[in-house]
């Protein structure tokens, strides 16, 4: 997405400005995230809210700092185009809800400075900034990044109040064991390592994750609300169906085959589709304009690659969830995809030869 092209004023009569802008696109994506985020606040309480807020503030802060260092004159305009805010928001959606404050600050630094601004700012980055930060944090700090708190709805008695939540957020003490719980994918991986059949290990996991009453990040717990947000983006034409559907298919097809062959070893299609960051990734990450291919068929290749790699990492890798790794790998392949999947040039066939049109006589 090129800011200059989108904000250029039409110079002569046959052009009409559609009113679209970076800010409007970013705003719509944020609107689509609101329901799942609010649900996350209700589910995980004040610590989750603090984490969300600080991640976004950290992203905005580092964006402003980078712009200042780069000598950009209109800092405010670029800062509030919503792209840094959205990066922070998406990053917060993938973090454990009770992660300590420094995770948020460091995540903002990695996402904005290393993931985005060193490449030249909005529209220039090779990798999705939120996923860069997510992977860097996970690799660097395996312990705080894999402590998933059990959902404690705000209405329940045991929920920490405002002050206690602030203490949880700021002291970065480990969450008491009684409050933690494994995610579905993590649980499946541990039980498999212990040699226990998946059929026994998982009870009502997949059905529960649809309404989100289970451990996981914001984006993981409320798959259904994320899906609603994704459909809103489809209807408002912020995204097209190619990449999301390809991601879901890329996971579902190998999962269905493998589960059909050996249900004790491989998770079912529903478990794959409804857990982890899959829905969030399919609708909000894989559709990132900057880091995905430009053509519709390219996006299908890109999405299938993400889905398949996610399934491979989940099924055979060392980490229980592989969405972020898969996205980064396919981001790296995006220029290659764009090189081989090109739109047909007008007046030429797919191979670039001029169409054989009879001369008008």
Cα–Cα distance measured from residue 270 to residue 278, given in angstroms and rounded to the nearest whole number: 11
166 belongs to the binding site for another protein (CB under 8 A): no
The span from the CA of 191 to the CA of 183, in Å, is: 12
Coil vs helix vs strand at 93 = helix
Rank residues 4 and 143 by Cβ distance to another protein and give the closer one.
143
Write down the least CB distance from residue 75 to another protein, Å: 20
CA-angle at 266, arms to 246 and 194, nearest 5°: 140
State how far the Cα of 134 lies from the Cα of 138, in Å rounded to an integer.
6
Contact flag: residue 142 with another protein (CB under 8 A)? yes
Q: Which of 2, 20, 124, 140 binds another protein (CB under 8 A)?
A: 140
Residue 136 touches another protein, criterion: CB under 8 A: yes
Angle at 21 between CA 37 and CA 336, to 5 degrees: 85
Return the number of the residue (8 or 118) whose C-beta is nearest another protein.
118
Which CB atom, from 139 or from 231, has the smaller least distance to another protein? 139
How big is the chain by its Cα radius of gyration, in Å? Answer: 22
Q: How far is the CB of 113 from another protein (least distance, A)?
A: 9
Nearest-angstrom CA–CA distance, 75 and 69: 11
Query: Toward another protein, which CB reaches closer, 34 or 118?
Result: 118
Instruction: Compose the 191-210 pattern: x for residues touching another protein by CB under 8 A, - for all others.
Output: --------------------
354 three-state secondary structure: strand
Residue 103 binds another protein, judged by CB under 8 A: no
User: By C-beta, is 267 or 328 nearer to another protein?
Assistant: 328
| Contact pick of 27, 41, 80, 141 for another protein (by CB under 8 A) | 141
Question: Which range binds another protein by CB under 8 A, 16-24, 140-148, 179-187, 229-237?
Answer: 140-148
Residue ranges in 109-128 that form contacts with another protein under rule CB under 8 A: 114, 118
Among 8, 34, 70, 139, binds another protein (CB under 8 A): 139
CB of 128 to another protein, least distance (A): 15
At its nearest, how many Å lie between another protein and the CB of residue 140? 4
DSSP conformation letters of 13-81: TT-------HHHHHHHHHHHHHHHHHHHHHHH-HHHHHHHHHHHHHHHHHHHHHHHHHT-S-HHHHHTT
Tell me the closest approach of the beta carbon of residue 97 to another protein, in angstroms: 21
Q: In the complex, which residues of this chain contact another protein (CB under 8 A)?
A: 106, 114, 118, 136, 139-142
């Amino acid at each position: 997405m090129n800011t200059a092209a989108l904000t250029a004023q039409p110079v002569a009569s046959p052009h009409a400005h559609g009113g679209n802008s970076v800010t409007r696109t970013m705003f719509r994506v944020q609107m689509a995230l609101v329901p799942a985020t609010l649900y996350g606040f209700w589910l995980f309480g004040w610590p989750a809210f603090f984490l969300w807020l600080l991640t976004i503030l950290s992203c905005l802060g580092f964006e402003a700092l980078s712009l200042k260092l780069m000598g950009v004159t209109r800092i405010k305009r670029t800062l509030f185009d919503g792209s840094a805010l959205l990066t922070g928001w998406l990053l917060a959606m993938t973090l454990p809800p009770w992660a300590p404050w420094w995770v948020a600050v460091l995540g903002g630094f990695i996402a904005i400075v290393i993931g985005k601004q060193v490449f030249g700012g909005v529209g220039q980055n090779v990798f999705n900034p939120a996923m860069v930060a997510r992977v860097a944090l996970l690799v660097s700090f395996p312990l705080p990044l894999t402590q998933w708190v059990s959902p404690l709805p705000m209405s329940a008695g045991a929920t920490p109040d405002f002050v206690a939540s602030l203490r949880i957020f700021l002291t970065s003490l480990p969450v008491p064991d009684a409050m933690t719980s494994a995610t579905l994918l993590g649980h499946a991986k541990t039980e498999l390592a212990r040699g226990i059949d998946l059929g026994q290990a998982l009870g009502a996991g997949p059905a529960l994750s649809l309404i989100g009453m289970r451990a996981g990040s914001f984006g993981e717990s409320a798959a259904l609300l994320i899906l609603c947000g994704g459909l809103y983006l489809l209807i408002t034409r912020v995204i097209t169906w190619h990449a999301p559907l390809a991601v879901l298919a890329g996971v579902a097809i190998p999962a269905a085959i493998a589960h059909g062959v050996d249900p004790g070893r491989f998770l079912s299609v529903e478990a794959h589709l409804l857990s982890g960051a899959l829905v969030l990734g399919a609708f909000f990450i894989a559709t990132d304009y900057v880091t995905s291919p430009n053509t519709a068929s390219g996006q299908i290749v890109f999405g299938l690659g993400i889905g398949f790699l996610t399934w491979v990492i989940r099924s055979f890798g060392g980490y229980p969830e592989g969405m972020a790794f898969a996205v980064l790998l396919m981001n790296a392949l995006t220029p290659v995809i764009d090189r081989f999947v090109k739109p047909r040039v007008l007046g030429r066939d797919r191979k670039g030869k001029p169409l054989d049109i009879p001369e008008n006589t």
